[in-house]
Amino acid sequence: MCVTMNTEQPFSTSETVEPPGDISADDFRAALHRAADLAADYLEQVHDYPVVPKIEPGDVRALLPTEPPEEGEPLDQILDDYKRVIEPRTTHWNHPGFMAYFAVTGSGPGIIGETLASTLNVNAMLWRTGPSATELEEHTCDWLRQMLQLPEGLHGHINDTASISSLLALAAARERLVDLDIRRKGMAGRSDLPPLTMYCSDQAHSSIDKAAITLGVGLEHMRRIPSDEAFRLRIDKLEEAIAADKAAGCRPVAVVGTLGTTSTTSIDPLPEIAAIAKRENMWFHVDGAYALSAGICPEYRALMEGVEHADSVVTNPHKWLFVPVDCSVLWVRDPDLLRRAFSIIPDYLTTTETNVTNLMDYGVQLGRRFRALKMWMVLRAFGVKGLQERIRYHCALAKDLAAWVDAQPGLERVAPTPFSTVCFRAVPDLPPDEQDEFNERLVAAVNRAGPVFVSHTRLRERFVLRISIGNLRTRPEHVEQAQQLVTRAHGQLLAEL
């Protein structure tokens, strides 16, 4: 039966002289030139802002009209509002005083790549729908593999985030259990399915837990193995957990080693984990979202030992390789497992090319952005040497900061500093809970000042400050400013006791 539609049109194309189309080429060019000036001015002057805007939730929306514009508005007016309303009310990740979380900067070359990628607006789901996007993605992932001296033959592709990269890797690990036929039969209501268990340290990122949730493994079966005094996964505890699980009828599937944990940047004993994974026939995934990038410097490669045994490895060029958010590279030893986990080719997506990579086959999403373009621009514009220099510079600044902390009476560094993140706390003569409160107030006071933004974490239940250096604009004077703010706030809080 035919569906009838109301064919009365608001206008007919034959009566329309000009098709509505996009804005004119001249308007586009003029606005893009102005946007280029806005971007360049912003990056040049970002230090004039407080790192975190002094605003309350809801302040941004209160400045915006409640209803959408009925008529199109001039781009100049929109850009005026961008400059007036939006830019000042963001947290400035590009600020030299941004030292919170993992400090990440999108560099000039990366911003240009991002702009051109949205100009092309390709959707590289298939090689056919984005040949240069597909091949540049494969090529730049391989460049990065070479820079990190990862084994030849690893297949790399780009996802938005490490959370998704790890999820896909662990989905491939699950797919490897061919006897369980999970892709076809699912996991629900099956009496033949043993509980699947996965392992990571108690310092692993929450994205690993999220992968366990999403894959139906469940948080209860994501074993968080205790870490040692340097926050590295304890091998003896891993062995114990696997043995206990096997005795209880569970099926160990995968173990995740973190190369640069989120709180302290500790490095799990990757060679030992690899050996256990091999012996137990488990998948070995390495989460190097932040710190693996440092492996482009030969002097850091020794810290990465064992990564070459991984079945899958993730790093985020958007964290410490100056590619604008988002860009996460996942390498897998056996890409066929990813395809077996995810590939579904409906009629409307078949193409005639054979022997090409169709990126839709390697994950959940169909459509994908052309992220390789910005990575290509960054790798070329800085070159390996330029990237090495920048990473070394950050690590040197962090080393100086760690030495400063060590020299301060009343401050205590609470973790080794292998890369560019320093964890420390004040140790006033107070009971532990009150010490925590003191340190919380210390972070708040430092951040309230404006020129720097630091973050915090908890280690062994205790509240600690965390300063991470990874910003392209951070110089010694910015780190000194952070030190002065810590000293001043520390002194004031002690005086108030």
Is residue 316 near ligand PLP by the rule CB under 6 A?
yes
Tell the smallest beta-carbon distance from residue 176 to ligand PLP (Å).
Answer: 22
127: which DSSP letter? Answer: T
Residue 178: CB partners within 8 Å, gap ≥ 6? Answer: none
Nearest to ligand PLP of 261, 420 (CB atom): 261
Is residue 262 near ligand PLP by the rule CB under 6 A?
yes
Q: Which of 94, 197, 201, 207 binds ligand PLP (CB under 6 A)?
A: 207
Tell the smallest beta-carbon distance from residue 316 to ligand PLP (Å).
Answer: 5
Using CB under 6 A, which of the segments 222-230, 258-266, 272-280, 449-457 binds ligand PLP? 258-266
Tell the smallest beta-carbon distance from residue 260 to ligand PLP (Å).
Answer: 6
Tell the smallest beta-carbon distance from residue 471 to ligand PLP (Å).
Answer: 15
Nearest to ligand PLP of 261, 447 (CB atom): 261
Tell the smallest beta-carbon distance from residue 221 to ligand PLP (Å).
Answer: 20
Ranges of H-type helices in 286-360: 317-320, 335-342
Chain-centroid distance, C-alpha 311: 20
Let me know: does 264 contact 424? Beta carbons within 8 Å. Answer: no
Q: How far is CA 481 from CA 436, 454, 477, 488, in A?
A: 23, 12, 6, 10
Q: Which of 148, 212, 256, 289 binds ligand PLP (CB under 6 A)?
A: 289
Nearest to ligand PLP of 99, 182 (CB atom): 99
Tell the smallest beta-carbon distance from residue 289 to ligand PLP (Å).
Answer: 3
What is the Cα–Cα distance from 246 to 481, expressed in whole angstroms? 53
Nearest to ligand PLP of 205, 223 (CB atom): 205
Is residue 414 near ligand PLP by the rule CB under 6 A?
no
What is the per-residue binding string for ligand PLP in 333-362, x denoting contact by CB under 6 A? Answer: ------------------------------
Is residue 419 near ligand PLP by the rule CB under 6 A?
no
Nearest to ligand PLP of 199, 290 (CB atom): 290
Q: Which of 49, 231, 284, 290 binds ligand PLP (CB under 6 A)?
A: 290
- Give 313: exposed, middle or buried? Use CB within 10 Å, 0-12, 13-18, 19+: buried
3-state secondary structure 170-198: HHHHHHCCHHHCHHHHCCCCCCCCCCEEE
Is residue 455 near ligand PLP by the rule CB under 6 A?
no
> DSSP secondary structure string, 342-394?
H----GGG--S--S---GGGGSS-S----THHHHHHHHHHHHHHHHHHHHHHH
Chain-centroid distance, C-alpha 397: 22
Is residue 287 near ligand PLP by the rule CB under 6 A?
yes
Which of 150, 145, 151, 160 lies closest to 384 in space, CA to CA?
Answer: 145
Tell the smallest beta-carbon distance from residue 98 to ligand PLP (Å).
Answer: 14
Which of 130, 154, 168, 112 lies closest to 375 in space, CA to CA?
Answer: 112
SS3 state of residue 121: coil
Tell the smallest beta-carbon distance from residue 209 to ligand PLP (Å).
Answer: 11
What is the Cα–Cα distance from 198 to 283, expressed in whole angstroms? 9
What is the Cα–Cα distance from 173 to 154, expressed in whole angstroms? 16
Nearest to ligand PLP of 180, 289 (CB atom): 289
Which token pair is 305? 């030992």
Which token pair is 75? 């781009």
Of residues 145-184, which lie at the interface with ligand PLP (CB under 6 A)?
Answer: 161-163
What is the Cα–Cα distance from 208 to 212, expressed in whole angstroms? 6
- Give 355: exposed, middle or buried? Use CB within 10 Å, 0-12, 13-18, 19+: exposed
Using CB under 6 A, which of the segments 253-261, 346-354, 370-378, 409-417 binds ligand PLP? 253-261
Tell the smallest beta-carbon distance from residue 313 to ligand PLP (Å).
Answer: 12
Nearest to ligand PLP of 261, 388 (CB atom): 261
Using CB under 6 A, which of the segments 235-243, 257-265, 270-278, 436-444 binds ligand PLP? 257-265
Which of 439, 437, 434 lies closest to 412 in space, CA to CA?
Answer: 439
What is the per-residue binding string for ligand PLP in 10-29, x denoting contact by CB under 6 A? Answer: --------------------
Query: Contacts with ligand PLP: how many residues (CB under 6 A)?
Result: 15
Element (H, E) at 277: helix 270-279
Nearest to ligand PLP of 300, 438 (CB atom): 300
Q: Which of 328, 417, 457, 471 binds ligand PLP (CB under 6 A)?
A: 328
Is residue 231 near ligand PLP by the rule CB under 6 A?
no
For residues 429-459, one letter each, b for 16 or more C-beta atoms within 10 angstroms of the residue's C-beta and e for the rest, the string is eeeeeebbebbeebbebbbebbbbbbbbbeb
Which residues of this protein are in contact with ligand PLP, per CB under 6 A? 102, 161-163, 205, 207, 258, 260-262, 287, 289-290, 316, 328
